[in-house]
Chain A
Amino acid sequence: AQSVAQPEDQVNVAEGNPLTVKCTYSVSGNPYLFWYVQYPNRGLQFLLKYITGDNLVKGSYGFEAEFNKSQTSFHLKKPSALVSDSALYFCAVRDLGSGNTPLVFGKGTRLSVIA
């Protein structure tokens, strides 16, 4: 079975500071990992994904995520937070070899960037 945990419901960070949104996963095989962002009254928008290769993945809006197999983590990071980054962030996983089954989403982490 596949599962994703986002241990923090809320993350607060000052504008200009680095931000991290945490995600850990559990799969029986190898994972495909995804990050999505949801702005108020909008649908989820794809940010980035890890499929294979370099453990550091770069995505939209200056975000990046680091895949760590030993820690089964895929934390989302940004070197300098903007107020406009305030949103709800979802981590998602799919088990390699499971076919195009639906992504399994975490419960989401609300990021608040304070000016």
Chain B
Amino acid sequence: DAGVIQSPRHEVTEMGQEVTLRCKPISGHDYLFWYRQTMMRGLELLIYFNNNVPIDDSGMPEDRFSAKMPNASFSTLKIQPSEPRDSAVYFCASSFGTEAYEQYFGPGTRLTVT
């Protein structure tokens, strides 16, 4: 299996622009998680899905952030408009639906907003 796939790997954009991050989970996994990692705040859970349905989005920083999962093999995290403080590494992870199962992480998208 190719693992969790994320694109792009790097994104540089100007403040105010829309940013879309993409994720393809491991085939057969029914949970998908979006995380953000910064030096100051560490690893933060933003939102997670089960069977394409958002379960908890309490970690989404504000209304500028939105996430969708239109099918079992694709999810997007969108920031509109972007701000410099959104600069971070964004990780997608997926998991199989048992509590003993580990989460598998993608390589991340490094976002820089200037």
Contact = CB atoms under 8 A, between A and B. Distances in A.
A102 B48 contact: yes
B102 A34 contact: yes
Interface majority SS on A: helix, strand, loop or mixed? loop
A84 interface: no
Contacts of A42: 107-108
B71 interface: no
Contacts of A51: 100
A32 B42 contact: no
Contacts of B31: 100
A96 B56 CA distance: 19
Interface majority SS on B: helix, strand, loop or mixed? strand
Contacts of B105: 36, 43-45
B62 interface: no
A100 B102 contact: no
Nearest to B101: A100
B99 A108 contact: no
B30 to A, nearest CB: 9
A55 to B, nearest CB: 16
A44 B33 CA distance: 13
Interface string B85-109: 0000001010101111111111110
Interface of B: 4, 31, 33, 42-43, 45, 48, 50, 56, 91, 93, 95, 97-108, 110
Interface of A: 32, 34, 36, 41-46, 49, 51, 90, 94, 96-103, 105, 107-108
11 contacts: A32-B99, A36-B105, A42-B107, A42-B108, A44-B43, A45-B105, A98-B99, A100-B31, A100-B95, A107-B42, A108-B42
